[in-house]
Amino acid sequence: MSIFKRLSKGLSKSRDGLAAMFPGQNKDKLSDAEWQDIEDALIMADCGAQLAMDLTQQAKKTPQPLQSLRQLMKTTLKHDTPIQDAKPFVLLVAGVNGTGKTTTIGKLANMYADQGKKVLIGAADTFRAAAVEQLAVWVERAGADIVKQAEGADPASVAFDTISRGIAKAYDVIIIDTAGRVQTDTGLMNELAKVYRVMGKALDGAPHEVWHVVDGGTGQNAVAQVEKFREIIHTTGLIVTKLDGTGKGGILLQLCDKFKLPVRYVGVGETLEDLMPFNPDDYIDSLLPATPSNEESK
Ligand SMILES: Nc1nc2c(ncn2[C@@H]2O[C@H](COP(=O)(O)OP(=O)(O)OP(=O)(O)O)[C@@H](O)[C@H]2O)c(=O)[nH]1
Ligand SMILES: [Mg+2]
């Protein structure tokens, strides 16, 4: 199955929910009850009550409301901030437990290696020896290199070492993996703040990007997660994983709307290739039921 199909399949539940609520395609006048159904379907797809209301209220006022709703959703997801360019390019990856950070780092390492870049990964999840081993397997598959220390080592020290080695050995891309942590755990969030700070000491301007990995199936808690992580490590982009599975899809809209952060990539499976650069147009076309005019324009 192509990765785009996987995304489309993953979002099919939300799409079916929305399709059931979308009245006669391309209708230009909808009843209040029909609008209410659309708003409810958006809320059920995890868009959040406020955004669902804002989108429908705005779309309602336009001559082609359903087309306009689609357009408004695309606009919500579009943030044209380019990824910072630097050599070495230093990336910090963080998020709560089990969201797919390590897997995503494997996929990113593979992608960069395929582009002919020299990639170094820092194993700053020093909580469990198994975490380092898991990362090492991904890194090997991707054809990248790893910097690790003993279990229990200071994650900030691993991050510092990785960047120093990366500079000395002329790596193009340096990615730091971190342990999963709940955003309400002050001790662990302080530890992450230190990793971030120390990275800047190892190289002026680092990390160039900070990507927060969110599990697409998390639901509303994702909002609290992004809010807190952003405060601590100045998140520059989101990666939303597991959109091939239970993700309802609307959470991306809510996160982009609330935090004005770009979604950089989406994860749609468990293998090295299952990472897609995020494309708002394709995404909304996968999430919403097709309309005749939309089909024609493809
Ligand atoms: N279906 C699916 N599974 C994924 C995706 N990304 C990651 N996973 C799975 O999610 C689980 C957790 O992935 P990890 O990469 O270990 O997550 P992590 O964030 O590093 O976890 P911690 O380091 O323990 O916080 C694994 O079973 C992965 O295979 C995805 O895009 N789709
Ligand atoms: Mg991990």
How confident is the model over 244-289, as pLDDT tens digits? 886 688 999 999 999 999 999 999 999 999 999 999 998 998 888 7
Characterize the bridge pairing of strands 145-147 and 119-124. Answer: parallel
| Distance of CA 165 from the midpoint of ligand 2 (Å) | 22
State which ligand 1 atom lies nearest to the alpha carbon of 99.
Answer: 19
Check whether 168 has a pLDDT greater than 90: yes
| Distance of CA 204 from the midpoint of ligand 2 (Å) | 26
Say how far apart CA 31 and CA 121 lie, in whole Å.
Answer: 55
Closest Cα to atom 24 of ligand 1: 98
Q: Say if pTM beats, i.e. exceeds, 0.85.
A: yes
According to DSSP, the residues that pair with 176 across neighbouring strands are 92, 122
How large is the C-alpha radius of gyration of the chain? Answer: 20
Average pLDDT, the chain: 91
Say how far apart CA 17 and CA 190 lie, in whole Å.
Answer: 41
294 pLDDT band, cuts 50/70/90, is: very low
Indicate if the alpha-carbon torsion angle 108, 110, 113, 115 is positive or negative. negative
How confident is the model over 125-159, as pLDDT tens digits? 999 889 999 999 999 999 999 999 999 999 999 99
Give the SS3 label for residue 15: helix
1 pLDDT band, cuts 50/70/90, is: low
Check whether 162 has a pLDDT greater than 80: yes
State which ligand 1 atom lies nearest to the alpha carbon of 106.
Answer: 15
State which ligand 1 atom lies nearest to the alpha carbon of 275.
Answer: 31
In this structure, whether the domain defined by 89-283 belongs to CATH 3.40.50.10480 is answered with no
| pLDDT at site 296 | 41
Residues 6+ apart with CB under 8 A from 153: 126
Closest Cα to atom 10 of ligand 1: 100
φ, ψ of residue 151 in degrees (nearest 5): -55, 135
For the domain spanning 3-79, the CATH number is 1.20.120.140
| Distance of CA 191 from the midpoint of ligand 1 (Å) | 22
Say how far apart CA 175 and CA 63 lie, in whole Å.
Answer: 48
Residues 6+ apart with CB under 8 A from 76: 51, 55, 253, 256, 257
Report domain extents, the chain: 3-79, 89-283
| Distance of CA 58 from the midpoint of ligand 2 (Å) | 41
Q: What burial letters (b/e) apply to 112-134, b meaning 16+ CB within 10 Å?
A: bbeeebbbbbbbbbbbeeebbeb
Contact residues of ligand 1, CB 6 A cut-off: 95, 97-103, 125, 131, 179-180, 241-242, 244-245, 267-270, 274
Give the SS3 label for residue 209: strand
Q: Read off the pLDDT of each residue in 111-117 and give the average, rounded to a whole number.
A: 97
| pLDDT at site 24 | 59
| Ligand with smallest separation from the Cα of 106 | 1
* Helix (H) or strand (E) segment spanning residue 108: helix 101-114
- 31 with 235: CB under 8 angstroms? no
Neighbours of 298 (CB within 10 A): 6
How confident is the model over 40-81, as pLDDT tens digits? 989 988 999 999 999 999 999 999 888 999 999 999 999 888
